[in-house]
Amino acid sequence: MPPTRLGAGAGTPGARSACCCSIAPPDLLARVIEEGSAEQRSAAVQTIAASASLRARRALVGRVARELGPQVRALAYAQAPPPPEDSRQTVYDVEGRGQSALPGKRVRGSGDAAVADDAVNEVFDSTEATYDFYSSCYGRDSVDGQGMELVSSVHFSRNFDNAFWNGSQMVYGDGSGQIFQVGALVRARDVIGHELTHAVTEFTAGLEYSTQPGALNESFSDVFGSLVKQHSLGQAADQADWLIGEGTLVPSLGTALRSMKAPGTAYSGDRQPASMADYVDLPDDGNPENDNGGVHINSGIPNHAFYLAATAIGGNAWEKAGKIWYQTLTGGQLTPSATFEDAAKASLAVASELFGEGAEHAAVAGAWQQVGVLP
């Protein structure tokens, strides 16, 4: 029996924009529904249903944030009492409740000491690390480039197996122990960096969450999620594991959510291709198994291109390869409907602009050629 189709707008023309950028690959959840234990099936159905309920709001707020001015945008993000002017972030506790309770009870903000709740402290520290990464490496002031306060809510719903950017804030589930290990999502710095990068994309290129532009959307989040982790650990490109969400899944499902070094090897049933020769052509029809037209699946191709470019250039990946990818994402080179080829050509133009026609340009060109995006 095929997986149940859940989610507003399934199969309609508007479905491609009405999605929630979440860390859990929906095709993995769909496979668990088909093949998992009774407990795993229940957890996967709950996660898909809860994630779907947030899609329409994210689509609306994302459009407002991208297209309208700062004053109107501020109204869209006014879910909680105004923070102090110098506040970079605030963490809230939803206390097991759902969307209507967001953001929840304020627990910790900028300048506050650590609290007794480890989930709050983990999210606070990784959000701070992501803010510092974008600021120190690329001169970006928060996800919107204008110092927007980062709002996070922990303990969303009950045993919720996901973490996501909902268009205005970060939301974290605790994990059920059936799909994600309990507490693992808030401990994974690359997951937090990944999700916050969806906000950066929303404020810049605005890549549609469908087929190739959606796969680019996911890939940019994986790239900068990995770089946030590498930057925090002081790892050079040849020292990094290039895994996204390593150790977050229960061991029976796999070791990570994605591998940028070896796409298709992260978990049992991982369908990520490493090159266009194995591109998975899927419809964006609302079926979780089809993953919005393969956004988490085909992101393996640009992911691997970045890995190849970064390791060919060497050194700290955020310094050169990361700078090229950052400028490609935020500099106006990409339209919301950009394809892999568009991103490849844009990154080559940026590499030339930043570093000339030398080793960096050659590494980027070679990477896109190896994955079959460029001839």
Would you please indicate which residues are annotated as catalytic (active-site) residues?
Answer: 195, 296
Bridge partners of residue 243, in order along the sequence: 259
Distances from the Cα of 268 to the Cα of 35, 47, 251, 256, 327, angstroms: 11, 19, 10, 10, 35
Helix, strand and coil content of the chain, in percent to the nearest 5, comes to 45, 10, 45
* Nearest residue to 59 (alpha-carbon basis) of 165, 155, 171, 194: 165
Neighbours of 85 (CB within 10 A): 7
Is the peptide bond between 3 and the residue preceding it cis, with omega within 30 degrees of 0?
no
CB within 8 A of 79, min separation 6: which ones? 102, 103, 151, 168, 169
Radius of gyration (C-alpha) of the chain in whole angstroms = 19
**d(C-alpha 193, C-alpha 317), whole Å:** 15
Q: How many CA atoms lie within 13 A of 199 on its CB side?
A: 30
Asked if 170 contacts 123 with a C-beta cutoff of 8 angstroms, the reply is yes
**CB atoms closer than 10 angstroms to residue 39:** 12
